[in-house]
Structure 1
Amino acid sequence: MAIEERRFETQEQVALALAEAVAKDLRTGLTRQAAASLAVCARPDLFAFFAALRTQPLDWSRVEIALTDECWVPPSSEQSCERVLRRHLIRDEVLDARLVGLWTNDPKPIQASPEIAERLTRMTRPYDAVVLDVGEDGRVAGLFPGMPGLAAMLNPNWAVPAAPARDPDEDVDRITMTLRALLDSRRIYLFPTGEGPRAAYARAIEAKNASPVRALLAQNRTPVTVMLCDA
């Protein structure tokens, strides 16, 4: 496992350090090609990171940002990850960035999979950075333990970039990047915030389960930096 752990005393320090690291990755990407790319989840644990990232000096007009997963609701819905990202990241200095959303007008995510795959294929790849939180159950992105089709989605050689998903605790369909799509990046940042997510990360490191976060950590294709804070 190509894992680097970074430890901090406060959540504010984590957010700033993560923002600085991701901005550096994106600036490096812009020296290599016309555009840089970032994939992020849109959950409350990352709101402080989004705020810090907005202040980083960067040519946002040349940055592409994709969601790692999305609820199957229109962007006007309070459940929409795209709505959350536009509220907390795609604003102020970041308004010129290109957001690649994962929702379409199709009734179900399975019907939208070809279009979503095309959207992601058109992005600059590999991603310069991917930022993920961790669920208490070992979830990453929209890859939830026990959901139908999970084994295929966690196969690092499965060619499908995005697939239907479902949180057992939510009455809403989702779509998520598969493990292979997440690994198509130069670096992944993992942010297990809170006692439950930290415990899930610890169990994955100790190989005590077969959770999605374990699959992410067990691969040796893409380096993973874990941002840890006990606060």
Structure 2
Amino acid sequence: MAISDLELPTGVTARSHATAESLADAQALRVAEALRQAIDSRGSATLVVSGGRSPVAFFEALAQQPLHWRQVLVSLADERWVPVNHASSNEALVRRHLLRGPAAEAQFLGLYRVAGNLEQAAELADAAFAELPPIDVLVLGMGDDGHTASLFPGNPNLDLALRPDCPRRVLPMQAPSQPAQRLTLTLPLLAGARLPLLAIQGQAKLATLAEALAPGEVASLPIRAFLHSPLEIYWCP
């Protein structure tokens, strides 16, 4: 299967790249262009990214882009509830691979909060994210199970997180893999992004995307909540 075989909704575009490196480079160029446009138009730009292993090459390519990094705010779509010096921390990943060199001048708003339990941490993060400006660029990934950010199928908080009128910006989530305790931004905040991008690799995820494009419940494949205009999809085998 190739991504060109998919029937995409109007306003959704898809780009195929031969390698993960070329995908990361193309994605970095597009994101940098959109951030420059936001800075030129409004004086600042907000970039929200996802964690995990997949975006490392993209982070490193983006860090090399010439930008007025002091005018960029970087944040996360989701986070593992672990200290920022933990090997699984998305914040640590971003600081290590993106916020380096000139890009270290960017501001960063993290999701992790020290608290007695996950719900309390989510409440603290929810209050902090009241200060998040509208998102100019949102970079999402997707799991083989159709989750994006930390919006996992079968999670008790998923229905609330996917409500267009969800009153919370941040909710606690339980992932099926370790570390299980997560924090995620909710649909209203994520769906407000001016430019959302989805980056995926491999045939398994392409098959999941094809399934998600077919009619079905959003909760069964949460990525469905984002498969509409505007959206740019980047894929490599």
TM exceeding 0.5: yes
Q: 1:74 aligns with which of 62, 80, 83?
A: 83
* SS of alignment partner, residue 55 of structure 2: helix
Shift, 1:191, TM fit: 0.8
The yes-or-no answer on 1:214 pairing with 2:230 is no
Instruction: Give runs of ≥4 in structure 1 deviating > 6 Å.
Output: none
Name the residue aligned to 1:228. Answer: 235
Superposed displacement of residue 134, structure 1: 0.7
Q: Write the distance in 2 (CA, Å) between the matches of 1:203 and 1:173.
A: 27
The residue that corresponds to 2:164 in the other structure is 156
Q: Distance in 2 between matches of 1:215 and 1:115?
A: 26
What's the TM-score once normalised by structure 2's chain length?
0.90
CA displacement 1:155-197 (0-9 Å, x = unmatched): 1221311100111222531100112211121011001212222
Q: What is the rounded CA distance, in whole Å, between the counterparts of 2:74 and 2:172 in structure 1?
A: 20
- The alignment partner of 2:139 has SS state of strand
Q: Give yes or no for the alignment of 1:173 onto 2:193.
A: no
* Cα distance in 2 for residues equivalent to 1:87 and 1:116: 22
Q: CA deviation at 1:43?
A: 1.6
CA-atom RMSD, angstroms?
1.5
Q: What is the identity, as a one-letter code, of the residue corresponding to 1:224?
A: L
**How many aligned positions are there?**
226
The AA in structure 1 aligned to 2:100 is R
Residue 32 of structure 2 corresponds to 23
**CA drift at 1:203:** 0.7
Q: Is the 8 A contact 1:4 1:226 kept in 2?
A: yes
Note the C-alpha offset of 1:201: 0.9
Cα displacement (A) at 1:108: 2.0
Amino acid at match of 2:31: V
Residues 101-137 of structure 1: CA deviation (Å, up to 9, x unaligned): 0011112231133432232221221x11000111000
Tell me if 1:5 matches 2:14: yes
Instruction: Give 1:94's match in structure 2, choosing from 97, 103, 126.
Output: 103
Q: Indicate yes or no: 2:155 matched with 1:147.
A: yes
113-122 or 18-27: bigger deviation? 113-122
Deviation at 1:208, TM superposition (A): 5.2
User: Which residues of structure 2 form unaligned runs of 5+?
Assistant: 1-8
8 A contact 1:192–1:201 mirrored in 2: no
Local SS of the residue matching 1:192: strand
Q: Give the Cα–Cα distance (whole angstroms) in 2 for the partners of residues 64 and 183 of structure 1.
A: 18
Residues 35, 124 of structure 1: 8 Å contact kept: no
Check if 1:60 corresponds to 2:80. Answer: no
Residue 123 (structure 1) aligned to one of 129, 132, 153? 132
